Homo-oligomer: A and B are copies of this chain.
Amino acid sequence: MSAQSNEDSERLTQPLLRPATRNSTSQVAIVGSNVCPIESLDYEIIENDLFKQDWRSRGKVQIFQYIFMKWLLCFLIGLIVSGIGFCNNLAVENLAGVKFVVTSNMMLARRFGMAFLVFSVSNFVLTLVASVITTFIAPAAAGSGIPEIIGSISAVSSSLLIGKAGPMVHTGACVAALLGQGGSKKYGLTCRWLRFFKNDRDRRDLITCGSAAGIAAAFRAPVGGVLFSLEEMASWWRSALLWRTFFTTAIVAIVLRALIDVCLSGKCGLFGTGGLIMFDVTSANVTYHLVDVPPVLILGVIGGILGSIYNFLLERVLRIYNFIYEKGPAYKILLACTISISTSCLLFGLPWLASCRPCPTDATEACPTIGRSGNYKKFQCPPDQYNDLASLIFNTNDDAIRNLFSKNTDSEFQHSSILIFFFTCFFLSIFSYGIVAPAGLFVPVIVTGASYGRFVGMLIGRRSNLNHGLFAVLGAASLLGGSMRMTVSLCVIILELTNNLLLLPLIMLVLLISKTVADTFNGNIYDIIMKLKGLPYLEAHAEPFMRQLIVGDVVTGPLQLFHGIEKVGNIVHVLKTTRHHGFPVIDESPLSESSVLFGLILRSHLIALLKKKAFLSTPVPTGIEAFRQFSAGDFAKRGSGNGDKIEDIELTGEEMDMFLDLHHFTNTSPYTVVETMSLAKALLLFREVGLRHLLVIPKISNRSPVVGILTRHDFMPEHVLGLHPLLVRSKWKRVRFRFPRLIQIF
């Protein structure tokens, strides 16, 4: 049962929710450790006598407290996350905006050296702030979310090529987790009505809502947020959760709409009057015919190849960074600063390569734009001319995307400028992601993909009915598809970002092709990052070779059992010498000499029992009075990192010789499989029901009533292949490595 013990720390709140992998802040915790500092949550309801009594005693008032609180929490999550998301955008646009305005003014006065100095020093300082916060204040993923947001604001404002969606998802999850715990107990901010939410199940539901709210707030894409959390994040799903997530993101959408109303009256400074749609490409006359399909196919294929190369390179760079980070926090900050300086140099230096071009006479915007972020950057050019590369590179990421997506600007860019921009984005985003600052991947991938798409559009030129802006949208879709490998949620997010449903068939086509092409090379970027971090993410599908194994093949090691009435000393000894989180409880059978399985008891419940010291002097079953001393609250899930430890409990020698009646606190309905069950089918049960422990019972009954416990680790393909090395050379293994995702269909 070696695997049973690998879950020992409570540092992360959301092990199965992927946002933990989206931000680079938790690399600190994983590097160089084989033991994964993750505790699995459990969707299973622990049905022991205490739970049943609590359940039966819930009156109408409690039921409505629970329902009301659940919706109230979702409402609050939506409200807070949308507020944070709005302030985040506002702060970034204003910080970065002021920086660009000041620099541009200096450029206008032709004080180029001074401009570079201001630009690079402000970037440097902002990056430093972000990396110091990340390194020292919120090193792991379990913060309140506030340090992440401050870090994200300064990192994104510092012109690094990183996104703000990832940190928003993380912040949303943190907000949800904190609200579910009723604020922090440390500061006395807890609420009696929240007592029903102190379990894994409700916590995980709330975190799912929080993550969806994060995406909704970052991209103003509420439906996309729901689908993202459905497709990419939650490992377990139920229809009630769909509804609640939808409610949360609806709140986000409504609150954002109201906040944007404020900006419409011009009170948001350089944020401008940004509407609910971020990169509006509405143009009533989107027409395309069959002749436009081949270029889109090519766009998809190349996007898929680029996406898989992107994933491959990102993995290599992250490996190198992990190696550097092992040397200490100073190196982390040093690396971040190096990236910041290089970025500044590139962003300021590269536009000099582009030649100045005369302003178009039919430009819908002021040209050149001076003193604000706009489409036609003057940079070093003489009056009435603009620098097309500077318009892209010497700009915020959002403005660059808007510029690339814009219509009626087909002649704005030169081939060389777009190409330089594409390569800069491609490599800068790979090198920027892994630094110790809250960083997302969505925006960098969109920028890179849009520049690639626009370049293809320029090559095809007038042979297609699509304008270059639409090519940029499709290019962004193809690179997103090739790197993230989502389908429905990406499609909806792109629709919500661009507000053009007429493009839908083409976006679907390009996503399908780029995902299919990229899947033949490697896995999606989240899986790669998750594997790098050592997070034991269990895929929903069974590997084909698991059909050749039975559960008994992976059950290993000695099993720790407790009796229904167990000696305190034994319990303490087992808890101290093992790190298992669940123990089978057995009873003597009244009919035969063999024993029967009574259920499963959790470590945390045993510790709570020991802490209460409700011991018996003789091994006699207790009755109903056992409950009097306990309330469900004693066994409620503690907040992250606040769990009691067995080492903290002090017991006298006399107490050690006494007994504990475990019956009332044992989950009498654990899920079980017979040892001859196929491993693939056991995995399906484990994943679909959302288990943490799965008991294995013997086929022939005259042995012990339980032969093992399976946890997440026992199902990990690497673990199984380690136990059965002969399988490595089977054809399934080969198929698996050659077509990692296609194999899902089995």
Contacts and interface: CB of A to CB of B under 8 A. Distances in A.
Given A541-B240, A735-B63, A504 B70 contact: no
A625 to B, nearest CB: 22
A60 B501 contact: no
A243 interface: yes
Interface string A533-546: 00000001100100
A156 interface: no
A280 B589 CA distance: 71
Contacts of A56: 548
B591 A700 contact: yes
A724 to B, nearest CB: 15
Interface stretch (A30-38, A125-133, A222-230, A312-320): A222-230
A512 B250 contact: yes
Contact of A744 (B44, B239, B669, B680): B239
B243 A487 contact: yes
- Among A63, A293, A495, A589, which residue has the most Cβ atoms of chain B within 10 A? A63
Interface in A174-201: none
Contact of A502 (B249, B499, B550): B499
Interface in A560-597: 589-592, 594, 596-597
A710 to B, nearest CB: 14
A134 B246 CA distance: 39
Interface stretch (A303-311, A401-409, A682-690): A682-690
A289 B277 contact: no
A588 B481 CA distance: 55
A261 interface: yes
A508 interface: yes
A419 interface: no
A731 B731 CA distance: 57
Contact of A689 (B237, B253, B502, B688): B688
A504 B685 contact: no
B685 A681 contact: no
A398 interface: no
A67 to B, nearest CB: 6
Interface bracket on A: 35 or more
B488 A226 contact: yes
Contacts of A745: 66-67, 70, 240
B501 A277 contact: yes
Given A246-B512, A254-B509, A702-B591, A672 B672 contact: yes
Given A277-B501, A290-B261, A591-B700, A487 B242 contact: yes
A453 to B, nearest CB: 19
A642 B508 CA distance: 38
Contacts of A63: 735
Interface in A41-82: 44-45, 47, 52, 55-56, 59-60, 63, 66-67, 70
A596 B731 contact: no
Interface in A268-312: 275-277, 282, 284, 288-290, 293
A102 B145 CA distance: 68
Contacts of A246: 487-488, 491, 508, 512
A668 interface: yes
A70 to B, nearest CB: 6
B505 A257 contact: yes
Contacts of A697: 674
A250 B503 CA distance: 12
A230 to B, nearest CB: 8
A540 B236 CA distance: 13
A700 B589 contact: yes
A678 B669 contact: yes
B250 A509 contact: yes
A47 B492 contact: no
A676 interface: yes
Contacts of A47: 547, 678, 681
A506 to B, nearest CB: 8
Contacts of A256: 505
A84 B456 CA distance: 36
A257 B503 CA distance: 10
Given A505-B253, A731-B60, A676 B671 contact: no
A699 interface: yes
Contacts of A674: 597, 672, 697
Contacts of A44: 681
A622 B55 CA distance: 53
A677 B44 CA distance: 13
A8 interface: no
A501 B512 CA distance: 23
Contacts of A540: 238-239
Sorted nearest first, the 10 A-B pairs with minimum C-beta distance are: A701-B701, A250-B508, A688-B688, A253-B505, A669-B678, A240-B744, A246-B487, A499-B501, A254-B505, A669-B677
18 contacts: A45-B681, A52-B548, A56-B548, A59-B731, A222-B504, A222-B508, A240-B541, A246-B491, A261-B289, A496-B501, A589-B700, A592-B700, A592-B701, A592-B702, A596-B699, A597-B674, A597-B699, A684-B689
Given A499-B501, A688-B689, 15 more contacts: A52-B547, A56-B548, A222-B508, A223-B504, A227-B488, A237-B237, A256-B505, A275-B502, A277-B502, A589-B700, A596-B701, A668-B678, A672-B672, A684-B689, A701-B701
